[in-house]
Amino acid sequence: MTDRLTSTESFPMLRETPEEIAYELRAHEGALWTGSRMVIGIWAFAFAALGFAYFYLRSANNASLWRPAHITAPTGAGAAVFAFSLASAFLVAYGLWRFRSGSELDWQVTGWTGVLCTLTAVALQIWQLTVLPFFPGSSGYASCFIGWAGMNIALLLSGAYWLETLLARQLRLRRAVVEDGGMVRSSLPAVRLFRANLEGCTYYWVFIACVAFFYWVLFYVA
């Protein structure tokens, strides 16, 4: 048949229009925005479950085994973990503000300092688990504390990993966008996605700071 396509015939290339490319970029930015908030929501549910267990066991206090003799985890180490976690969140938020002001170097410095503070907090949290004055299942307080310590380590490590990947990404992109206004003003797709990712990471660290404050009060102050 004359109208049958043969293997030698060429097919026109399918090309996206500028409108389709712009739409896909906006969709990708929206996915980063939504994904970062969903991660926060997942962690919020996890810590809410821990909070429910804390208040339920504390109110029940079966056989007076919630917190015998008002025993507490080492307060010095707990305060240090809280301080380093809060410092990391502050550095990330301050770094974003400096980044938006056009100072990429300040963001790099605060970012790497924040990663270092986070790793210090994780190390202190792990060390604290080795010197606890109680066994994991000795009381309701002890069980909740062990659960919180493990979740807190995972939360801090995830925040440090996210921040570190952004710092490494910025190092790879900055030379490519020098002539396009830099990382702050560049309209390149990769840079726009980077800025959306950075904003999501900053909100994540604000959440980490809130969690650190709330559970520091529960386990060390209340």
Model pTM? 0.87
Amino acid at 9: E
Nearest to residue 82, comparing CAs of 211, 207, 201?
A: 211
Are 122 and 67 in contact by the 8 Å Cβ rule? The answer is: no
What's the confidence (pLDDT) of residue 20? 74
pLDDT tens, residue by residue, 65-101: 888 888 888 999 999 999 999 999 999 999 999 998 8
Residue 146 lies in a domain: yes
Are 200 and 37 in contact by the 8 Å Cβ rule? The answer is: yes
Residue 61 lies in a domain: no
Tokens standing for 45?
């549910």
Largest Cα span, the chain = 94
Residue 118 lies in a domain: yes
Q: How many domains does the chain have?
A: 1
Residue 38 lies in a domain: no
Rounded distance, CA 46 to CA 156, Å?
Answer: 14
Amino acid at 98: R
Residue 181 lies in a domain: yes
pLDDT tens, residue by residue, 125-134: 999 999 998 8
Residue 22 lies in a domain: no
pLDDT tens, residue by residue, 137-177: 888 999 999 999 999 999 999 999 999 999 998 888 877 77
Taking residues 31-39, report their average pLDDT.
Answer: 90
Sign of CA dihedral 56, 59, 61, 66: positive
What's the confidence (pLDDT) of residue 180? 66
Residue 204 lies in a domain: yes
Surface-to-core class of residue 147, CB atoms within 10 Å of its CB (0-12 exposed, 13-18 middle, 19+ buried): middle
Rounded distance, CA 100 to CA 17, Å?
Answer: 31
The parent domain of residue 152 ranges over 75-221
Rounded distance, CA 122 to CA 157, Å?
Answer: 7
Q: Between 18-60 and 189-216, two packed helices, what is the crossing angle to 10 degrees? A: 10
Are 67 and 218 in contact by the 8 Å Cβ rule? The answer is: no
Residue 53 lies in a domain: no
Give the CATH number, domain containing residue 118: 1.20.120.80
Nearest to residue 189, comparing CAs of 28, 2, 3, 47?
A: 28
